[in-house]
Structure 1
Amino acid sequence: MPAAPYAALALGTDPASPPVGNSSDTAVVKGLSMRTLDLERIIRAPRADVFDWITDATNYQRVPAIRRVTPVRPGNVSEHGVGAVRLLVTPLLRLTEEVVDYDPPRLFRYRVLKSLPPLRRQDGTVTFDDHPEGTRVRWHSQFEVATPLFAAAWTLALIPAVYLGVSMVLSTAEAELRRD
């Protein structure tokens, strides 16, 4: 019997944690104080369409957990390309992100310039690959809460919000782009 699609959210370095989240996600979070989230999903739509949807942060306003998205500065060559800065506001996070790599329709990379709660480091890479069922999206993010006390505990507490936020962005993209 073939294995069913699954999602796993591994706290710490144990990838054997029980499945969590959308059954079409594959996700692992690992690390001690610095956390790494790797989430993968197949979206049944052409790669260029998926890339365009995910790199246009104004689409995120339709994601349930995102309260506001404000474009701060357009990219140097493309509106959503390298140099673009956008502000994302959620119930638990406020992030100002800058696009640092933009290679349509293959790769998108960003880093957080400012955040609340403050993050010592947060960056992400999203890759897009052709797949027989559409487009494979891989979202890789690293983050750590910057606080003088209990940084590892605060970072650990933030894992569900980061996972759910990324998963909801992918779910919304999938719902809006899906082609069967």
Structure 2
Amino acid sequence: MRTVDVQRTIRAPLPDVFDWLTDATNYQRVPMVRRVTLVRPGDTNGHGAGAVRLIVTPLIRLTEEIVEYEPHRIMRYRLLKSVPPLRHQEGFIAFEEVARGTRVRWFSTFEIATPVCAGLATALFLPAIKGGFLMVLRTAERELRGV
């Protein structure tokens, strides 16, 4: 298993950052994201606990379920399926109000599910996952500056 752990401070109020990052339909405005579909709405919010969403990029197709949704604090998710196939241990986005805005931590542990050279395949794929997280965070920051 490999871990991606990205942290960034976004100069915007915590409620705005939380709402933007937990609404995956916003990701459609991120470079390289081709399509986002809310497959099943969540319990308290369309994107809350129980929501299932599909995210498609040129490199990966993910179907994920939101398993924990605490407004302005954390959103935890798990992969239901993916192409390429991934084993996913944990994923979350955590939020903290700081003096300059909102500190975001995006964490995920995964590996490519292949019987041969899984470690090498995962190591090669790791920069793409990290780069994707950073693109989402940069897009959120750019769009929220005007809020």
Same-fold status (TM-score > 0.5): yes
Per the alignment, residue 13 of structure 2 pairs with: 46
**Paired residues of 1:55 and 1:108 also in contact (CA < 8 A):** yes
Q: With a CA cutoff of 8 Å and minimum separation of 6, indicate the structure with the bigger relative contact order.
A: 2
Per the alignment, residue 97 of structure 1 pairs with: 64
**Counterparts of 1:108 and 1:147, CA distance in 2:** 28
2:106 pairs with 1:146: no
**Percent of residue pairs bearing the same amino acid type:** 62
**Paired residues of 1:44 and 1:179 also in contact (CA < 8 A):** no
- The runs of at least 4 consecutive aligned structure 1 residues that moved more than 2 Å come to none
Per the alignment, residue 91 of structure 2 pairs with: 124
Match of 1:57 among 2, 24, 37: 24
2:133 pairs with 1:159: no
Q: CA deviation at 1:121?
A: 1.8
Q: CA deviation at 1:77?
A: 2.1
> Which protein shows a greater Rg?
1
Q: Secondary structure at the match of 2:42?
A: coil
**Counterparts of 1:158 and 1:135, CA distance in 2:** 28
2:109 pairs with 1:170: no
TM-score by length of 1: 0.79
**Counterparts of 1:154 and 1:110, CA distance in 2:** 23
**Paired residues of 1:60 and 1:69 also in contact (CA < 8 A):** yes
- The one-letter amino acid of 1:95's match is L
- The one-letter amino acid of 1:155's match is T
**Counterparts of 1:130 and 1:179, CA distance in 2:** 18
Deviations 1:113-153 (A, max 9, x none): 00000012253111110111000001111111100100001
Per the alignment, residue 74 of structure 1 pairs with: 41
TM-score by length of 2: 0.97
Gaps of 5+ in 1: 1-33
**Counterparts of 1:132 and 1:97, CA distance in 2:** 32
CA RMSD of aligned residues (A): 1.2
